[in-house]
């Protein structure tokens, strides 16, 4: 009985993952590419704790989020939460400690996040996000830079079939006003817009006694948005013309200066209507099917909610795990890791010398493994090939006497004898 119980205990928790050597190599490759793109735009990394006070997340997302959060109690009895996302913690950090930094402040981060729901294919309870914030500016050029950076992160990873969509929530709210959709009614129809359920949307709007012409125009604006159409649709509303002009500048910068050709304007982007306050965007990988969104963000206002001084801000979150799945779907080849050298001491007496040579090569910048099991050459060569060794050095008593080693190139099979003193020059 105890035995059976133990078998069960020593398993990975449900909904979580271990990452193998190959998976970690690929994940570090992706992390490095994302990092270097962030840094090429002058963004700098910060990090916050894995858990926060629970109230931080309910303040941003409402009490409804509690059911999806892993929470537990502190020794002081306070409610803590494994973070479900990274924006709220970073803004909390900003308000607590970074408000005096020179503006704009460009921050990026990586972190594991936690979701307390039923595990499904491709959805895990612990998952990785990358993200960023720009604080202290809301010029069109800062928003365009942010969006192009998100797009280029994915392009630099080799993704070809991605789609960038931009929308604007100030303009959307004015559209809602024009057709007299109260906030109450908006709450009902926004999820329908978000899920592209146009039939249900039309039915709901009919029930709200909106006339058919207004419904058709509204659906048309959502589906086939372009700036001129928006300007025309809202021409009686002077308040929104500035925002339309700003939106147009962002679009122009993306198309003309950032040369992003496959951008589309979609007013149906309704993400986080509570705190997004301007241009928003999403990037999708259609190859992923129903859950195709890789990245989303935009201009928002959270700093005030967290008691900081108001300051223009924007940011995005990128799904790290989903990005890797999309790369797999597009058959992107990850670089294969090799090791420079594998050293085989032929017998016990040659071990001391083999270790000394290995260590000397490492001090000269080479990655060197060696046989630690005193195997015969055949078995050791098989292992060398399993770890992708580029070259193998064989050291026997004869070699030591002559102060040489045999080097075998694992790709060509070519074998050479090299003086120990010349080894580093030979290898460089």
Positions 23 through 82 that interact with its own copies (CB under 8 A): 24-25, 27-28, 39-42, 44-53, 55-56, 59, 70-72, 74-76, 78, 80, 82
List, as one string, the DSSP characters of 295-326. Answer: EEEEEE--TTTTTPPP--EEEEEEEHHHHHHH
Contact (Cβ atoms closer than 8 angstroms) between residue 357 and residue 343? yes
CB of 201 to its own copies, least distance (A): 33
Beta pairing, strands 339-345 & 368-370: parallel
- Cβ proximity of 411 and 390 under 8 Å: yes
**Residue appearing with tokens 């795990």:** 321
User: Counting contacts by CB under 8 A, is residue 356 touching its own copies?
Assistant: yes
CB nearer to its own copies: pick between 142 and 268: 142
Contact 138, 278 (CB under 8 A): yes
The reply on whether position 378 binds its own copies by CB under 8 A is no
Using CB under 8 A, pick the residue from 7, 209, 238, 331 that binds its own copies: 7
Residues numbered 153 to 212 that lie near its own copies (CB under 8 A) are: none
Starting at the edge strand found earlier in the chain, the sheet holding 339-345 runs 368-370, 339-345, 389-395, 404-409, 415-419
The whole-angstrom separation of Cα 366 and Cα 114 is 39
| Orientation of helix 241-252 relative to helix 169-178, angle to 10° | 140
Evaluate whether 282 touches 126 at the Cβ level (below 8 Å). Answer: no
Residue 196 CB, shortest distance to its own copies, in Å, is 30
Q: Which is nearer to its own copies, 82 or 234 (CB)?
A: 82
Determine if 4 is a binding residue for its own copies (CB under 8 A): no
Q: Which of 62, 96, 402, 416 binds its own copies (CB under 8 A)?
A: 96
Decide whether 27 or 231 has the Cβ nearer to its own copies.
Answer: 27
Number of residues that bind its own copies (CB under 8 A): 99
DSSP three-state, residue 60: helix
Give the range of 2-10, 182-190, 207-215, 393-401 binding its own copies by CB under 8 A. Answer: 2-10
Q: Distance between CA 281 and CA 91 in Å, rounded?
A: 20
Could you tell me the smallest distance in angstroms from the CB atom of residue 135 to its own copies?
A: 11
- Minimal distance, residue 229 CB to its own copies, in Å: 24
Residue 301 CB, shortest distance to its own copies, in Å, is 15
- What kind and span of H or E run contains 390? strand 389-395
What's the chain's length in residues?
428
Q: What is the DSSP letter of 310?
A: P
The only residue of 186, 293, 367, 406 in contact with its own copies, by rule CB under 8 A: 367
- The tokens describing 63, both together, are 């009490």
Residue closer to its own copies by CB (options 157, 193) is 157
- Is the Cβ of residue 71 or residue 186 nearer to its own copies in the bound state? 71
- Selected from 222, 280, 368, 400, the binder of its own copies by CB under 8 A is 368
Pick the binder of its own copies from 95, 192, 344, 407 (CB under 8 A): 95
Distance (Å, whole) CA 71 – CA 149? 34
Using CB under 8 A, pick the residue from 220, 245, 304, 307 that binds its own copies.
Answer: 307
R_g (Cα) of the chain, nearest Å: 29
Q: Residue 247 corresponds to which tokens in the numbers above? A: 């939106």
Q: Find, among 303, 321, 299, 319, the residue nearest to 311 by Cα.
A: 303
The one among 62, 97, 245, 417 contacting its own copies by CB under 8 A: 97
Q: Which of residues 353 and 408 has its CB atom nearest to its own copies in the complex? A: 353
- Answer for which of 387, 402, 415, 422 binds its own copies (CB under 8 A) is 387
87 counts as binding its own copies under rule CB under 8 A: no
What backbone torsions phi and psi does residue 416 show, to the nearest 5 degrees? -135, 155
> Which parts of 266-305 interact with its own copies (CB under 8 A)?
none
Question: Is the bond leading into 104 cis (omega within 30 degrees of zero)?
Answer: yes
Which of 1, 21 has the CB closer to its own copies?
A: 21
Instruction: Name which of 263, 301, 308 is nearest 282 in CA terms.
Output: 263
The tokens 């629970």 sit on which residue?
A: 54
6 binds its own copies (CB under 8 A): yes
Q: Is 253 in the site for its own copies (CB under 8 A)?
A: yes
Which one of the spans 90-98, 161-169, 181-189, 405-413 is the region binding its own copies (CB under 8 A)?
A: 90-98
Distance in Å, CB of 305 to its own copies, minimum: 9
Does 241 engage in binding with its own copies (CB under 8 A)? no
State the Cα–Cα distance between residues 172 and 243, nearest whole angstrom.
11
Query: Which of 130, 134, 240, 244 touches its own copies (CB under 8 A)?
Result: 134
């Amino acid at each position: 009985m105890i035995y059976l119980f133990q078998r069960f205990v020593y398993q990975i928790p449900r909904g979580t993952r271990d990452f193998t050597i190959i998976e970690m190599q690929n994940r570090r490759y992706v992390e490095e590419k994302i990092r270097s793109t962030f840094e090429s735009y002058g963004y700098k990394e910060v990090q916050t704790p894995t858990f926060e006070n629970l109230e931080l997340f309910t303040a941003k997302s409402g009490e409804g989020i509690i059911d999806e959060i892993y929470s537990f109690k502190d020794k002081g009895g306070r409610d803590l939460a494994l973070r479900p996302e990274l924006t709220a913690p970073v803004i909390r950090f900003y308000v607590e400690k970074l408000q005096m930094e020179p503006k704009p402040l460009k921050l990026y981060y990586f972190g594991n996040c936690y979701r307390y729901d039923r595990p499904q294919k491709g959805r895990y309870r612990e998952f990785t996000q990358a993200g960023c914030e720009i604080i202290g500016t809301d010029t069109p050029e800062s928003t365009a830079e942010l969006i192009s950076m998100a797009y280029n992160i994915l392009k630099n990873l080799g993704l070809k079939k991605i789609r960038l969509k931009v929308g604007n929530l100030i303009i959307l709210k004015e559209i809602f006003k024009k057709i007299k959709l109260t906030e109450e009614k908006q709450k009902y129809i926004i999820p329908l817009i978000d899920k592209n359920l146009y039939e249900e949307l039309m039915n709901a709007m009919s029930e709200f006694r909106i006339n058919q012409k207004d419904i058709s125009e509204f659906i048309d604006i959502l589906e086939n948005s372009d700036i001129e159409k928006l300007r025309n649709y809202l021409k009686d509303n002077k308040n929104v013309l500035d925002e339309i002009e700003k939106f147009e500048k962002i679009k122009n910068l993306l198309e003309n200066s950032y040369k992003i050709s496959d951008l589309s304007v979609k007013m149906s982007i309704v993400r986080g209507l509570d705190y997004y306050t301007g241009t928003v965007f999403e990037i999708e990988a259609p190859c992923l099917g129903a859950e195709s969104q890789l990245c989303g963000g935009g201009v928002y206002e959270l700093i005030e909610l967290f008691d900081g001084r108001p300051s223009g801000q924007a940011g995005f979150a990128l799904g790290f795990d989903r990005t890797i799945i999309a790369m797999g779907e597009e058959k992107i080849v990850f670089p294969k890791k090799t090791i420079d050298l594998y050293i085989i001491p032929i017998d016990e007496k040659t071990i001391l010398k083999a270790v000394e040579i290995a260590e000397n090569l490492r001090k000269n910048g080479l990655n060197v493994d060696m046989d630690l099991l005193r195997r015969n050459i055949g078995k050791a060569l098989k292992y060398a090939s399993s770890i992708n060794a580029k070259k193998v050095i064989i050291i026997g008593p004869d070699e030591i006497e002559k102060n040489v080693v045999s080097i075998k190139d694992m790709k060509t099979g070519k074998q050479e004898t090299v003086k120990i003193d010349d080894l580093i020059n030979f290898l460089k």
